[in-house]
Every structure is written in C-alpha cells, then in structure tokens.
Structure 1
C-alpha cells in the first residue's frame, strides 16, 4: 500500500483503526460467502470528521472506497473487488444515538448503530422505530439506508426511505452535507435525501440520519395460519386490509418447502401447525387496547376460516409465542443457507399477479431443471418474494452452480413478464449489475450513469456496484 496514503489514514482515524494484511480478512467476504475481495486497508472512523478526512485522503491518492456497515447484505454490495486497490470504510465505530425528540417523534442515529439498538432506544423513550429485519441484531443503520431496506413492517410503515427525515452525508468530494433536519415538510429543491438512500454507497457515505418514530401500540395480535394456495393467501390479505385497515402491520407468506427447512436445521424450533402447502404469518397493532384488538383479530380469522381462505390458525397467547412465530419466519434465510446451494431472487410482483407468477415459474423450472425445489417466502403484503431455488436432492453443488445463470434468467424473464422488479429490497450490489442492465429501461440506466458522474466524477465510491464497470466515469 502507498505509504503516503497509509500515513494519512492513520493520522485521520488513529493507527489502531487502520487494519492491513491478515487483519483485513473478516471484512473482505460477503455474508453469503459468494464473493471474497482484497483491500489495501480496512479503515474504521469514529466521527463524521474522520470520514471526511479519509475520503479526502483517498481522493488525493485516487484510491477507491467501499463503505461497509454490518456486512449482512445479500448482493455483495459492501465487498471490495480483487484488485486490492480499494480501502474498506468500516463504519461500526460510529454508533451513537445523538438525540431523541419524543415530542417530534424523531431520533438521530449514526450510521454504525445496530438496528436493534435503535429500536431499543426508541422503546426506552416510549416510541416505536418499526424497521424490522431478520438481521436486526447485526445490521447497521447506514447499511439499511444505503440499500433502502424493507423488512416485515413495510406494509404499514414503508421502507427505510419512508422512515427517514434527514441525512448527514460525506460526499464523494470530501464535503459534509448536514441535512439532519427533523422536518416532515421541506420543499427546498431536489430531494437529496431520497437520492442517497438506496444508492449503496456509490454516491457518498451516509454518516447519520434523522429517523421517524411512532407511538407504541397498545396491543398486538399475531397468528400463524395454514392455507391451500397463494390465491387463498391473497384473498386473506384483501380481507385483512378491508377489516383491519392500517392496523395490519405484517403479512408474511411461506411455502411448506421453505418453512420445513427451519426445524430440519434448527431442531429446537417447532412448527405450530400441521403440514400445509402454504403458511401465512400475520400481525396487527391496535392503538386502543387488548379487548378491541382481540375482537377484531378473532373476527378476521373466523371470517377467513368460513370463506376457506385458511384451513387452520394458531394465535399467539403470549409475547413469547409471538416472538417464536416470528423467529420461525426469520430463521428461513439461515435454514436455506444450511440446506446447500441456492439461487436467490429478491423480487417484487403486483400482488394480483403473484399466484400466476409462482405457478408458471415453478412449472417452467421443473421442465428445464428437474428436481429443483422452490423455497419461496417473503412479504406478501408489499409484493416482495424471496424466490429461492434449491439444488435438487442428490445433485452436487458444482453441477447446480453451472445451471444458476440460466435458471435466474428464466426467473427474471418471468418477473419482467408479470410487471415486476428483479430487486425488491436487497439492492443491486455487485451481483446484479448485469441484471439491472438487462431488465431496466435504457433511459433509466443513462440517467443513473449521469447522476453517478455528477456526484462521483472520479468514480471512487464503491466502484463496480449498482452500475457495472463499463459504465463508470
């Protein structure tokens, strides 16, 4: 590594926080262990000023920067390439809750705050921060914002973008934009906040955010229900929306193939219902109290049973049971990983076309790749499916890997045909750049390229992510 740059980085953040050589290894492989890169150093700033100084030093030496949060992403968006030229800017030390304003329902958190810590800080102030993910114990707020994370409560509260009022950003030119306003109305020019959220570190480094808080619910109800088909699950979703309105907080769909992997790989967990083709996990939050919440929830389940939309249901009687239901759902990703090789697809489809997409695509996959298993699950309430295809039983991993490109092409072609998107909540990262080029409007790609060139003219911010190398300035 350039000794001049190394000295500048050490002066910026302190020598103990500049890692080189073998010390970099824990930060160089993505969560799925699909991609391992190389880095000149891993730099761990503790303040926004230190981030600014690191960016300026890298600009001076023409060194690429790969921002990294909790490294829990699914698309290798925080992993450096093989060149070894880049530094990894690891933001975990920036973990302060700077302020909480309960009267304004806002909280200011630094990018290195663990999502669960933000949730707990809000709860301690008598408020709710509703962003909730399976990785919430390890993912960081900066990464959540960089990917516009979704999670299990998008149906009611929206994605990370909808949960953010303001940002603090170190730009690709080494300037600090202090946009941490706690305002719900601010029509003063282009919305830079929305531009940086979801940009996956390719335009600048998010260092802090002003987040929206909400009142804690007075009561919650959670149920695990069995259903015969996606069509019935969609009908149940429509009924729940009609009967509960904004009280419907979560609505998760799980195939039997996906859900049954959980007790297989985590024997301490048990399914609450007998076998069925599909399962739904639904939750409501009521602002008034236990009695009203129970009455409305029971009425929904009774109507759904009478209409044949569900065959059976288990209602959580305690908070521990509710958490156990959610733990089953959140363990699917780990169970899928433990099962073996998997072609993962994070897609969104209009809810009205979901059943047709799954039925058609499952059939076509069996015709071309006999024996593959569709471990499908996701956030049916907002049209987001994790359409995961597992290797056939008995097939070796290398043979399955050789089919994954053609398999994913088939899946994404069907997504396009059904008016969907190839990335619902996980981003593009370094794994889906070719897919973005293939399926998005060329005019959109050109506009993305112009934005990148305008805000990162030297192409040093997370190069090769979102836009492929050949489109970089």
Structure 2
C-alpha cells in the first residue's frame, strides 16, 4: 500500500477540509471492497472533493508527490476497476448536483457523483427521457457509468453510455481542468476528446461532470414470450424490428432455469407463462402513444406466432405487470447465489451468431467440466450475453472452484473465434486486463499505451487498470 508522507497528508487534509477526507478504518474498508464483495482492496486515504477545483488541486498535489489515485463512483463495478489496491481513493459522491437542464436543446449537465436515478428524475421532471437503465441505477454514478461505458437494457435503441454524452468536464492527471461541457451535437473541430474518457475507467483523468443527451418521453408496451430455440429468438428479433423499426427498446433473452432460480430465491415471484420450453424473451417497444406501441407489438407477435417462432406470449396490461416482467430479468444476477459456484462473464458476439456460439461454448466447457450447468441471459438485441458456468451448492463433489482460469480461457477463446468481445458492457479493470492484452491486436495496445503515457506520464491515474503501462 502507498505510504503517504506527512507533508502530503497535511496538504491534502487542509485542501479538502474536515468533510472532504477520512482515514477512519470503517470508511476505508467500505470503499476498498466492491458491492458484491468479490475481491478485497486497501487504501490509506479517502478523499471526498466537493468541487471540480478541489479535485484539480488534489490531483496536482498527488502528481507532485507521486501518489497514485483510484477514482470511485458508486462502487458497483464488476471488473475491479474502481476498487483501490494501495492507491488513495477519490470518491466523487459529494459532487452530485444537477447543474443545468436545457429542454429545448434536450441536454442535461450533471456532476459525476450523481446516481443515475438523479439524471433520470431530472429528465422526467422536464418531460424528457434519459434512457440509460440498469439494475444498479440507484447507486451507480454518472462518472462511473461513463468511465466504464455502461450499457443496460436500452442499448438496442439508444446506444451505450458513450453514445449518450454530448460533453465532459475532466481533471487531467497533471491537475489541469478540461471543460468540454458544450451541448453541441455538431462540432467538427478535430479529435473528439470526450470519447477518450468514455470507457477509460479513470486511467486518463477524473470525470467531474457531463452533458447528457435527453430524448422525448415515450410510452412502452412490454411482452413476455416463450420460444423453443435460441435460433428462434434471433429470428424473432428480426421480425419484431421489421414491424417496429427502431422503436424496439429492449430485447432480452432469459433461460427457463433462470426464471426457476428467481422463483426459488424471491418470494411471491411467478413465471408469467409457465412452460417446459427452454427460452423466454422480454420485449419492449416504445412510442409516443401507448396504444400505438401495443398495436405494433401485437402485430409483430401475431406474425411470429404464425411463423412458429413464438409458442406463447403475454403483453403487459399495466405498468405493474410490465414491472413484474422486468423484476424477474433484473433479479437474475443476485439470484445466482443459489449456486455454490458461478463463474460469470460479460461477452458479446454478432447477433446472428448467438445460437451457434451458445452451442459451441457450452460444448467446450462441458468437455472440461461435464457436470457444469449454464445460466445464459442478456441483451440479445445488441449481442451481449451474460454467460455463467455454474455448479449447484448441493454438488457432492464440487469441481468448478479452482478452475476459474481454465474455464475463462475456454470462454474467451470461443468468443474470439466468433469475432466477439470479452467485455461487452462491464469494462476491463484489473480482471480482464492481461487477457485482453493477449488477444488484442498489437497496434491497438501500442496506441492505448501511447495515449496513457502522453496524458499520465507519472502513472498516477488508476494504475494497472485496462492496460499495463
């Protein structure tokens, strides 16, 4: 762990004020372990700046003293990017204000420490929509979501977090402030700098605020569907899009065993369409009027039924019923605790190749571990699968634990053989850094390293994440 000099500590404490720092063991422990507790870090000092200027002054101080920094938002990450491992932790949660909202420009300026729900509510209050939605939206912060280029359930229509930003304010590793908060949609004046920081996981600077895109409010129609094969699911996506175009907001594939898992874990949860079929699909279409969305969805499902792509379907009659569909989908990650071991991966492959990938990857894993079970779900509309290799807690002779690296190597190799990505929306962090360097083209690694060295020559900004520098 970084040993901090008395001079640095005194200067940092004076700079941040009594509310802006902590060395209390309880607080340090809290920020040194992610929300799922999957790994353990450590930090000697927690900084909690309240303004961009304080953040910049702190970073300048760290640069002068060679003190490494791990920026942290809501601490909901899954790839060990925001957990300090000896660095000081810079929490952005005191910087949580909505600075401005321009309804006619459809833009929102918000600070990096604000939880996603704050952006959603601010947009809603102005009769606008901020479309990013994910299970941790009450805790995950804007800065963290940008730093990991988060996805969520509406990527099919609105894109990743990178696609939802118009501008950024960033403190660079030398302490300079780059104010790029312009709400312009057209600005053809050289490099688009904001995209350097989306997905950089805090390795190039600390995001302090963002200008986000807003959209007109929409009304949704949601359906729960049963299908026989993953191939049918992919064909169903094409058919729904033929009917609904880009009004298809979400298209989630859910296996039957995941529904059963949620039912066993969450009291009073029921399968909307009990069936022995292996696949469920949660479809959402959004339009300006609810009746139009429902009519389009009904027409698409009628055609799919005639083509035998759908075996049964129910369209939500109320917001509460639609929320019950989504509750099942969003509870799957936590309900996997019913398994003694679950080795989880967030990957993507071309949509058209999802069925072939599932068959090939499952077969490859079963060659290694014949008793393995699988929970495979996710955003099939954009090719993103959450692929988990599981073993029941009741297994008499557990065999998965201790084989993480071998199983992950099988999955990664299968993903790459299908022209996919080993990280679809969760990021790289420390967890996938070395594996990514193995499979990434050399030219890409060299470009990333050159950017890192140019902006952070002293290697203080979240070292060891994304790329070995």
TM-score (norm 1): 0.96
CA–CA distance in structure 2, aligned partners of residues 171 and 179 of structure 1:
12
Taking structure 1 as reference, are residues 395 and 447 closer, same or farther at Cα in structure 2, changes over 3 Å only? Answer: farther
Match of 1:446 in 2: 446
Cα displacement (A) at 1:257: 2.3
> What's the secondary structure of 1:10's corresponding residue?
helix
Q: Give deviations 1:371-422, integer Å, cap 9, x for gaps.
A: 1111101100001001111125534898522111100100110001111000
Tell me whether 261-270 or 193-202 shows the greater mean CA deviation. 261-270
Cα displacement (A) at 1:143: 0.4
CA–CA distance in structure 1, aligned partners of residues 30 and 451 of structure 2:
32
Match of 1:118 in 2: 119
Q: Give deviations 1:117-165, integer Å, cap 9, x for gaps.
A: 1101100000000001111111000000000001000000000011000
CA–CA distance in structure 2, aligned partners of residues 467 and 335 of structure 1:
32
After TM superposition, the structure 1 = structure 2 runs for residues 48-59 of structure 1, keeping only pairs within 5 Å, are 48-59=52-63
CA–CA distance in structure 2, aligned partners of residues 335 and 363 of structure 1:
25
Q: Could you tell me which runs of 5 or more consecutive residues in structure 2 were left unpaired when the two chains were aligned.
A: none
Match of 1:24 in 2: 28
Confirm whether residue 223 of structure 1 aligns to residue 227 of structure 2. Answer: no
CA–CA distance in structure 2, aligned partners of residues 291 and 21 of structure 1:
55
CA–CA distance in structure 2, aligned partners of residues 337 and 243 of structure 1:
39
Cα displacement (A) at 1:3: 1.8
CA–CA distance in structure 2, aligned partners of residues 460 and 371 of structure 1:
45
> What's the secondary structure of 2:19's corresponding residue?
helix
Taking structure 1 as reference, are residues 97 and 268 closer, same or farther at Cα in structure 2, changes over 3 Å only? Answer: same
CA–CA distance in structure 2, aligned partners of residues 45 and 396 of structure 1:
51
CA–CA distance in structure 2, aligned partners of residues 11 and 110 of structure 1:
23
Cα displacement (A) at 1:169: 0.1
CA–CA distance in structure 2, aligned partners of residues 442 and 243 of structure 1:
43
Tell me whether 430-439 or 333-342 shows the greater mean CA deviation. 333-342
Cα displacement (A) at 1:21: 4.2
CA–CA distance in structure 1, aligned partners of residues 128 and 420 of structure 2:
35
After TM superposition, the structure 1 = structure 2 runs for residues 336-355 of structure 1, keeping only pairs within 5 Å, are 336-355=336-355
Q: Could you tell me which runs of 5 or more consecutive residues in structure 1 were left unpaired when the two chains were aligned.
A: none
Cα displacement (A) at 1:307: 1.0
Q: How many pairs align?
A: 464
CA–CA distance in structure 2, aligned partners of residues 56 and 303 of structure 1:
62
> What's the secondary structure of 1:302's corresponding residue?
helix
After TM superposition, the structure 1 = structure 2 runs for residues 58-457 of structure 1, keeping only pairs within 5 Å, are 58-81=62-85, 84=86, 86-217=87-218, 219-275=219-275, 276-287=277-288, 289-395=289-395, 399-457=399-457
Confirm whether residue 6 of structure 1 aligns to residue 6 of structure 2. Answer: no
Contact 2:95–2:114 at 8 Å: present in 1 too? yes
> What's the secondary structure of 1:360's corresponding residue?
helix
Contact 1:166–1:182 at 8 Å: present in 2 too? yes
Q: Give deviations 1:284-333, integer Å, cap 9, x for gaps.
A: 0112x233222211111111111111111121100111111111111111
> What's the secondary structure of 2:364's corresponding residue?
helix
CA–CA distance in structure 1, aligned partners of residues 349 and 176 of structure 2:
39
Q: Give deviations 1:211-266, integer Å, cap 9, x for gaps.
A: 0000001x310011111111000000000111100111110011122232111111
Contact 1:261–1:339 at 8 Å: present in 2 too? no
CA–CA distance in structure 2, aligned partners of residues 27 and 237 of structure 1:
41
Cα displacement (A) at 1:268: 2.8
Taking structure 1 as reference, are residues 16 and 292 closer, same or farther at Cα in structure 2, changes over 3 Å only? Answer: closer
CA–CA distance in structure 2, aligned partners of residues 56 and 8 of structure 1:
11
> What's the secondary structure of 2:67's corresponding residue?
coil
CA–CA distance in structure 2, aligned partners of residues 34 and 297 of structure 1:
40
Q: Give deviations 1:423-453, integer Å, cap 9, x for gaps.
A: 0111101110111112111111111111110
Q: Give deviations 1:175-228, integer Å, cap 9, x for gaps.
A: 0000000000011111110011110000000000000000001x3100111111
Cα displacement (A) at 1:34: 2.2
Contact 1:30–1:73 at 8 Å: present in 2 too? yes
Taking structure 1 as reference, are residues 438 and 397 closer, same or farther at Cα in structure 2, changes over 3 Å only? Answer: farther
